[in-house]
Chain A
């Protein structure tokens, strides 16, 4: 199968500091691929490079064979590669529903002037966005809190809302930055099931950066491990758990850290 996303020799240097160096891997369509590595390994930088927030110093990122590295984030998003954030990033003073509706921006057919004047296409867009937002809210099980102001929500719901914002753009590839961080076991298991459904029911390709190893091992089709900015291993969860370089990278931390 041709890869949907190709990362080719991506490198980012900040002056003398190399955040990541010559990282390459492919992502197959509808795959769930996790990027793991100790803190400061360059995982978040990699995500930023893919989503257009950071331009690689050298190397490139291809989406369906077309180069997307170097494009601004809104253009990358427009093509179908959308990032959610490490922190619970949402529009704080909007309600859940408003958050999801406003995030449909990419799919508007009317111009901003059209929206200002309230033309026919603009009204059609608004009606479609509202309907689609309700669908997404139902899909993620957020019905009960749809009119709640986002700043009042607990962690678990914020993550789900972050995902809803991502989904509203109708991405083909979604980048989830630490979707399980700060969650207890039950919340994590629910989120794992949700990420699976993104792939199974919505046909998304999912890339995630995560520290919660049991969750990563459970959810991933394949895993890429990064340490000190370099890719040290790539493979199925079983292969990664048995890889001596990965074990070495995590040495000093508890064995449970890589789920063994």
Chain B
């Protein structure tokens, strides 16, 4: 790793874990924690969407996996007495398994056909949550306890959130840690052979198969990892809001994940993270425009896609050779 890159990573970690909490403590804007926690979690889900883009598929179904992950965590905590910390990986794994089952048939589709099926998935997830007894229908699951203590061999690693003076900070730190880990995994995937093979898949599936890549397996693997991220993010969202309803994640959310990826840049690992931050804050800032909020927001999106079709991060490339 080059010195500048290392410095960049350290600066980023410093900003996330030291500067942001310090800034908030100074200004007393505790509500920022909620916003930033949301950004971190949404960027985790977007990371998954980005990975499906990386194998050449437009995934408008991440909301479904966030919803499934949320419900898995909520049900295990409230009905089976699991610790939240145990349900977190389980929610991710459950989503990955579901993704394998769904992905096997639908990942054969390409382009707009795959996109359409995934779009429907979010709606299917919502209707399923409405219909199943275990999810408690439209009333949803409420009064979910805050995450309890996590201890290994009697050593407390994470204290009980209920006893904390400031659970907002705790949630923020948890989301930030998860985000950092997610992007670490994503970065590693992209820069290892696994990522190179995903790129080969994105550019030419037939050629990829003829050089010996098991394309069906690789597609499903990428989709499962993607959905794993979606499930994790969903589970934490539920822990924060202490409730989940069939409408907690809807088609709009699925579409937003895609927009975050587009805006940040599909060619850049950290694109979805930046895209989430910009769009989420951008939307909030535009609330001063009242009824024109959506108009300005959509106009700005269209303009950005025209001017920077490769995402905001492509600005960094312009300095060099450019395309």
Contact = CB atoms under 8 A, between A and B. Distances in A.
A85 B209 CA distance: 12
B203 A83 contact: no
A78 interface: yes
A121 B8 CA distance: 30
A102 B212 contact: no
B168 interface: no
A118 interface: yes
B194 A90 contact: no
A105 B210 contact: no
B298 interface: no
Q: Which of B189, B206, B209, B210 has the most CB of A within 10 A?
A: B210
30 contacts: A51-B210, A53-B210, A72-B214, A74-B209, A74-B210, A74-B213, A77-B209, A77-B211, A78-B212, A82-B210, A82-B211, A85-B207, A89-B206, A89-B207, A90-B204, A91-B199, A92-B204, A102-B197, A103-B211, A105-B193, A105-B197, A105-B212, A106-B211, A115-B192, A115-B193, A116-B188, A116-B194, A118-B188, A118-B192, A165-B207
Given A94-B199, A115-B192, A115-B193, A53 B206 contact: yes
On chain A, which size bracket covers the interface? 35 or more
Contacts of A72: 209, 214
B200 interface: yes
A169 B189 CA distance: 22
Interface residues of B, number: 21
Contacts of A85: 206-207, 210
Q: Which of A51, A103, A169 has the most CB of B within 10 A?
A: A103
A24 interface: no
Q: Which of B199, B203, B206, B211 has the most CB of A within 10 A?
A: B211
A122 interface: yes
A179 B153 CA distance: 66
B212 A91 contact: no
Contacts of A115: 192-194
Interface in B188-243: 188-189, 192-194, 196-197, 199-200, 203-204, 206-207, 209-215, 221
A99 B212 CA distance: 14
Contact of B210 (A73, A92, A108, A118): A73
A108 B193 contact: yes
B203 A74 contact: no
A105 B211 CA distance: 7
Contacts of A122: 192-193
B199 A102 contact: yes
Given A91-B204, A94-B199, A83 B188 contact: no
B204 A126 contact: no
A98 interface: yes
A92 B189 contact: no
Contacts of B214: 72, 74
B151 to A, nearest CB: 28
Contact of B211 (A53, A98, A125, A169): A169
Interface in A62-103: 72-74, 77-78, 82-85, 89-94, 98, 101-103
B104 to A, nearest CB: 14
- In terms of DSSP, what is the predominant structure of the interface of chain B? helix
A199 B277 CA distance: 56
Contacts of A51: 210
Nearest to A53: B206
Interface in B79-109: none
A90 B207 contact: yes
A113 B204 CA distance: 23
Given A102-B196, A112-B221, A126-B193, A77 B204 contact: no
Contacts of A92: 203-204
Given A89-B207, A90-B207, A106 B212 contact: yes
Contacts of A126: 193
Nearest to A51: B210
A101 B210 contact: no
Nearest to B192: A115
Q: Which of B192, B197, B207, B214 has the most CB of A within 10 A?
A: B207
A168 interface: yes
Contacts of A82: 210-212
Contact of A73 (B194, B204, B209): B209
Contacts of A73: 206, 209-210
A45 to B, nearest CB: 15
Contacts of B213: 74, 105
A168 B211 contact: yes
A120 to B, nearest CB: 14
A94 B207 contact: no
Nearest to B216: A72
A92 B204 CA distance: 8
Contacts of A78: 212
B212 A77 contact: yes
Given A103-B200, A108-B193, A169-B211, 12 more contacts: A72-B209, A74-B213, A74-B215, A82-B210, A82-B212, A83-B210, A84-B210, A89-B204, A91-B200, A105-B193, A115-B192, A169-B212
Contacts of A89: 204, 206-207
Nearest to B185: A116
